[in-house]
Structure 1
Amino acid sequence: MIIPYDSLEKTTLINVIESFVLREGTDYGDVEKTLEEKVEDVYRQLKAGEVFIQYSEEFDSVNIVFKDHLQK
């Protein structure tokens, strides 16, 4: 199930993004980004429709996924 990012309270949305960023361990190249910068990057991607918040009823979990990786 896709959860529209703008349907979440701001604090909840930030918590979801932070949780995602902290567990992903993504390599950002030569210059490491701060947590705040990473959160802002994901927020921008949500607004642009590049990524979505997906809730899995099967696993009772929330994840952020790229549009082309959505589970149907």
Structure 2
Amino acid sequence: MIVPWQELDPDTLDNLLAEFVSRDGTDYGEQEYSQAEKIAQVRSALVRGEAVLMFSELSGLCNVVPADQVRDQ
């Protein structure tokens, strides 16, 4: 289910993004970024509409996924 991130409390969104970027396997390539930089990158992708926030009822987790993956389903 797509979560309308714009409707979330700003602190809640910050916490969700912080949890997302700190997960194992969230790789940003050869250059290392701080957690704040990673959060800013993900937030920017949400704002530009390149990514969406998805909630999985199965896992109980929120994920940030490319918007085109959601449109293709």
TM-score by length of 2: 0.83
Q: Which ranges of 4 or more aligned residues in structure 1 deviate by more than 3 Å?
A: none
Q: Which has the higher contact order (CA 8 A, sep 6+)?
A: 1
Matches within 5 A, 1:16-27: 16-23=16-23, 24-27=25-28
Q: Percent identity?
A: 31
For residues 2-33 of structure 1, the C-alpha deviation after alignment (integer angstroms, 9 at most, x for no partner) is: 0111111111101111111111431332x311
Which SS does the other structure have where 1:32 is aligned?
A: coil
Work out the number of aligned pairs and report it: 71
**Which ranges in structure 1 are unaligned for 5 or more consecutive residues?**
none
Q: TM-score, normalised by structure 1?
A: 0.84
- Matches for 1:1-72 after TM superposition, within 5 Å: 1-23=1-23, 24-29=25-30, 31-70=31-70, 72=73
C-alpha RMSD of matched pairs (Å): 1.7
